[in-house]
Homo-oligomer: A and B are copies of this chain.
Amino acid sequence: MSDQPQGFAVILVEPQLGENIGMVSRAMWNCGLRELRIVNPRDGWPNQAAIDAASGAMIPIDNAKIYPDIAAAVADLQVVYASSDRVREMQSRVVTPEYAVREIRALDGQGVTAGILFGPERTGLFNDDIARASALIRIPTNPEFTSLNLAQAVLLIGYAWWSAGLSEEQDYVALGETVPATRQEFDGFFDRLVEGLEKGYFFRSPRLKPHTLRSLRTLFERARLSSQEVRTLQGVINALRRAGAYRFDGRI
């Protein structure tokens, strides 16, 4: 057992198309989910169409376990959810994916194992299946078009689980090889720009100059320049001044 969160088991109930099982495997592995359980797959197992559709996301497929019925598939699990759009008939607790994954992460931290049931492509889960779950997960899509295919439903719930584990820092991903400019570098560039503008009589009105300078600075600040870009812009200023020198009197 590792200290990594295990996530949840994806339990496909009587899936019909191997292609969909493969797409589910992709969606699972995109989200770091490894544990695939399949109840009574229509076309047997292993399934070449599933392997083809997995596009290399083989960990869930390779780990897949096959069960004759739902009871066997969930026997060792402690908390079972059912993914379904059909909520009217049942009095289950109905939660969003975001809510469910917070529960799953909290339970995972206490060593509790969880699984989510996904029904067959055409019919979805039957009420007797849903009754085996402690809560129903409903993905709140556009009421005018709620139909999601199997892999899409797994992807949305899986991604909710995966992204809930990422730190807030991920909002800004690292900027690769580039280094943000220091304030000194930025100011050096900006001073050089202003110097050039003054020499070029850019500031017609002394009264408006502070405002114009602020606008200019804001514009460049917003771009969050890298060191390299500051150097490039210094070169741009130099080049423009050289060009102007040529243009107006033919000398550098």
Kindly list the 9 A-B residue pairs having the minimum CB-CB distance in the complex, ordered from nearest.
Answer: A94-B173, A91-B178, A32-B142, A88-B176, A30-B141, A29-B145, A99-B171, A57-B145, A91-B226
- The answer to whether residues A89 and B171 also contact, given A29-B145, A56-B145, A163-B140 and a CB cut-off of 8 A, is no
Instruction: Point out the residues of chain B lying under 8 angstroms from A144, CB to CB.
Output: 29, 32
Q: Is there a chain B Cβ closer than 8 Å to A96's Cβ?
A: yes
Q: Which segment, of A66-74, A146-154, A184-192, faces chain B?
A: A146-154
For chain A, the bracket of interface size reads: 35 or more
- Cβ-based interface call for A240 (8 A): no
Secondary structure call for the A interface: loop
Within 8 A of B (CB), among A22-72: 26-27, 29-32, 55-57
Within 8 A of B (CB), among A166-180: 166, 170-178
| Alpha-carbon distance between A158 and B233 when the two chains are bound, in angstroms | 37
Q: Give how many copies assemble into the complex.
A: 2
Tell me if A155 is interfacial: C-beta within 8 Å of chain B.
Answer: yes
Per the 8 Å Cβ criterion, residues 189-229 of A in contact with B are: 224, 226, 228-229
Q: How distant is A91 from chain B, measured CB to nearest CB, in Å?
A: 4
Distance in Å: Cβ of A140 to nearest Cβ of chain B = 5
Closest to A226 in B: B91
Asked if A93 lies at the interface with its beta carbon under 8 angstroms from chain B, I say: yes
A93 partner residues in chain B, CB cutoff 8 A: 172, 224
CA distance A228 to B226 in the complex (A): 65
Could you say which residues of chain B place their CB within 8 Å of the CB of A32? Answer: 142, 144
